[in-house]
Every structure is written in C-alpha cells, then in structure tokens.
C-alpha cells in the first residue's frame, strides 16, 4: 500500500469516527420510528430531552474530569445530599435562592476535597472518589435517614423541576444553560486549554509552569457541583428529598454518556458538545427500547455493548 493510499485510508477512518455518533443516532431514530410510530411524536421527543436533562447536566460537568484522565464515582451520593441540604435549608425558613446555593455549595465542597486528595496527595482518582461515594452516602443517610422527605408549600422551588418556559420544561433550559456555559469555558478560557494539556501530558503541563494540582481540584469541584445541581432539580421534580436518590449505576450512566460521546478515558481528547450528543444517543436508545417494551435485562446488555464499542472506537482514534 502506497503512502498516499495509507493517508487516504487514515483520513477516511478519522472522518467516519468523527461522524459515527450522529449517523448512529439518525439510524436508531429511523429504526424506532418504523417500529413504533409514536416515537416521533412531539411529546415523546420532548420527553426524551426532559429525561436526559439530569444525566446531561452531570455528564457535561464531569467531562472535564475524564479529560484529565480521572474519574468521579461520587456523583450519585452528591446528588442525594445536595437535595437533602436544600430541603433542610428550606425547612429552616430560608428563601429558595439560599437553599439552592447551599445545595450547590455542599457539592462544590465535596468536589474540592476529592480534587485536593487527588491533586496534592497524588492518590488515584478511582480510589478517592470510590471512598467519597461511600462517605457521602453515609453522611446523607445520617442527615436524612432512609425516608422520603416531602417538600411542601414551596411553589418557587418546585418550579425549578416542574415549571416550563415557552412550552419547554425548565430542567431542559437549565441543561442547555449549563452546556453553553461549559462549552464557553472549554473553548474560550485558558482553563479549558489547561484541562486538555493536563490530560495529554501532565508532566509536561507541570514543567511548563501550569498549576496542575489546582486544576485537578477545580475539575472535581465542577463535577460535584454539576451533580449537586442535578440533585436540586430532581428533588424539585419529585417534591421529595432522600438519601437514597442517585443509586449505584448513576455514575455509570454519566461515564457512559461521556465515553460514548468520544471523550478519551485516558484523558486529553474530549468535548462537552460531544458529551451532549452521547447523552442524547443513550436517551434515544433507552426511550425507544422502553416504547418497544424491551426487557430491562436486554436493555442493560445493549447499554454495555454500546459502551464497549465506544471504548473501542476511542482507542482506535
């Protein structure tokens, strides 16, 4: 094979890999539309976006963690604890903005602690966040117990998760706002460039004078804040707060969306926009299988297979 042919093949492969996910979404949508005409109804399409909003918020924020070559397994418990904190602050008579800030603050605090342990103590991210998963879940159970706590007579807080604007649910608007903000951070600020450099070669970034340890703290703080925001939206949607929300598997859904979107699990390469596409793809697949009454065990197998293929494509790129 000539050098020119090799270059052409490589270029074709990169082009196919770049557009594989959008093409896959189009194919999946076409298949489900033929199998179940109700799939393409406006209500169902809007329902898909509403259903992916929570995972989308968390995945967009956690993209930066994966880009550094790390992982955050504590998003589920942080989601639960943030909702509980907002509930208790509301119950103490404080206004809604204070409750929301308190929930976001506890998420940011936990994330910064995770990032400090990883960045300054050089501990493995998977170990730190796995320990944090257990600690935060235990703290949530101590604070709120295993019971559901009803959020009553809080119409403004409830509107966060149940309200709508221009016919579109507010959680979708919140998701869109988070994505736009994080895209701006990634492509228009030095922080976004530093995150990519850290994932590509941490030693080189450190020798170049970049504060890599501080950057690690910030990316984990950002990830946990995203989980806290999702927890606040969830508690307002269901009008309850509970330490059991964000069960085991939540973090896997988040990581799956990021990886399916094309962010390298080894770090460096990644994009918030591609993560959103990954979230949308998984949401479309899940919704279509639910409409077709596919058994949950088959759905889990399908999700696992999708993740494996996505990892294979990422490694190939």
pLDDT digits (tens, 9 = 90+) for 57-67: 999 999 999 99
pLDDT at residue 207, as a whole number: 75
- Give 12's pLDDT tier (boundaries 50, 70, 90): low
- pLDDT, position 314: 59
Give the pTM. Answer: 0.91
pLDDT tens sequence across 121-131: 989 999 999 99
**pLDDT at residue 7, as a whole number:** 54
Q: What CA–CA distance (Å, rounded) separates 227 from 26?
A: 29
CA dihedral 156, 160, 162, 164 (to 10 degrees): 100
In tens, the pLDDT along 178-196 reads 999 999 999 999 998 899 8
Q: Is the pLDDT of residue 223 over 60?
A: yes
Residues with Cβ within 8 Å of 15's Cβ and at least 6 positions away in sequence, in order, are: none
Residue pLDDT, tens place only, 117-158: 999 998 999 999 999 999 999 999 999 988 899 998 899 999
First vs last C-alpha separation in the chain: 21
Count of C-beta atoms within a 10 Å radius of residue 100: 23
Structure token digits, residue 216: 């690690």
3-state DSSP assignment of residue 240: strand
| Percent share of the chain, pLDDT over 90 | 56
Q: With CA atoms as reference, report the closest residue to 151 among 51, 245, 254.
A: 245
User: Which of the four pLDDT bands, split at 50, 70 and 90, describes residue 296?
Assistant: confident
Quick check: 181 and 60 in contact, CB under 8 A?
no
Residue-wise pLDDT tens digits, 22-45: 887 888 888 888 888 888 888 898
Is 1's pLDDT higher than 70?
A: no
The pLDDT, as a whole number, for residue 72 is: 95
The mean pLDDT of the chain is: 88
- Give pLDDT, residue 164: 92
What is the Cα–Cα distance from 23 to 284, expressed in whole angstroms?
A: 13
The length of the chain, given as a count of residues: 317
Pair 278, 59: CB distance under 8 Å: yes
Selected residue with higher pLDDT from 306 and 89: 89
Query: Is residue 268's pLDDT more than 80?
Result: no
- Name the band, by pLDDT with cuts 50, 70 and 90, for residue 276: very high
- Whole-number Å distance between alpha carbons of 115 and 72: 10
Q: Bridge partners of 149?
A: 241
Q: Which residue has the higher pLDDT, 104 or 310?
A: 104
- pLDDT mean over 223-245: 95
d(CA 117, CA 160): 33
Residue with tokens 């295993």: 146
Q: Which two tokens stand for residue 33?
A: 């539309």
Phi, psi for 67 (deg, rounded to 5): -65, -25
Bridge-partner residues for 51, per DSSP?
none
Q: How far is CA 313 from CA 22, 42, 100, 197, 262, in A?
A: 14, 32, 39, 22, 8
Distance CA 258, CA 252 (A): 10
Residue 56: count other Cβ atoms within 10 Å of its Cβ: 29
């Amino acid at each position: 094979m000539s050098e020119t042919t090799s270059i052409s093949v490589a270029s074709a492969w990169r082009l196919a890999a770049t557009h594989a996910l959008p093409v896959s979404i189009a194919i999946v949508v076409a298949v489900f539309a033929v199998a179940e005409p109700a799939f393409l109804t406006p209500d169902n399409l809007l329902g898909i976006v509403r259903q992916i909003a929570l995972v989308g918020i968390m995945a967009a924020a956690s993209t930066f963690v994966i880009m550094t070559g790390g992982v955050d397994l504590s998003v589920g418990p942080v989601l639960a604890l943030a909702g509980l904190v907002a509930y208790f602050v509301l119950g103490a008579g404080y206004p809604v903005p204070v409750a929301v800030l308190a929930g976001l603050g506890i998420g940011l605090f936990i994330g910064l602690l995770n990032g400090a342990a990883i960045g300054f103590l050089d501990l493995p991210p998977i170990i730190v966040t796995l320990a944090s998963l257990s600690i935060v879940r235990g703290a949530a159970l101590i604070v709120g117990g295993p019971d559901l706590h009803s959020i009553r007579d809080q119409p403004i807080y409830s509107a966060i998760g149940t309200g709508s604007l221009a016919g579109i649910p507010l959680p979708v608007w919140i998701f869109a706002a988070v994505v736009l903000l994080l895209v701006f951070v990634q492509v228009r600020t030095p922080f976004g460039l530093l995150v990519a450099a850290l994932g590509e070669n941490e030693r080189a970034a450190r020798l170049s004078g970049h504060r890599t340890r501080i950057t690690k703290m910030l990316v984990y703080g950002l990830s946990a804040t995203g989980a806290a925001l999702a927890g606040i939206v969830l508690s307002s949607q269901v009008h309850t707060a509970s330490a059991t929300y964000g069960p085991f598997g939540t973090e896997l859904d988040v990581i799956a969306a990021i990886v399916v979107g094309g962010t390298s699990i080894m770090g460096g390469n990644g994009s918030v926009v591609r993560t959103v596409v990954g979230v949308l793809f998984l949401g479309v697949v899940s919704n279509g299988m639910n409409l077709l009454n596919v058994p949950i065990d088959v759905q889990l197998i399908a999700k696992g297979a999708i993740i494996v293929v996505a990892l294979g494509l990422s490694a190939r790129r």
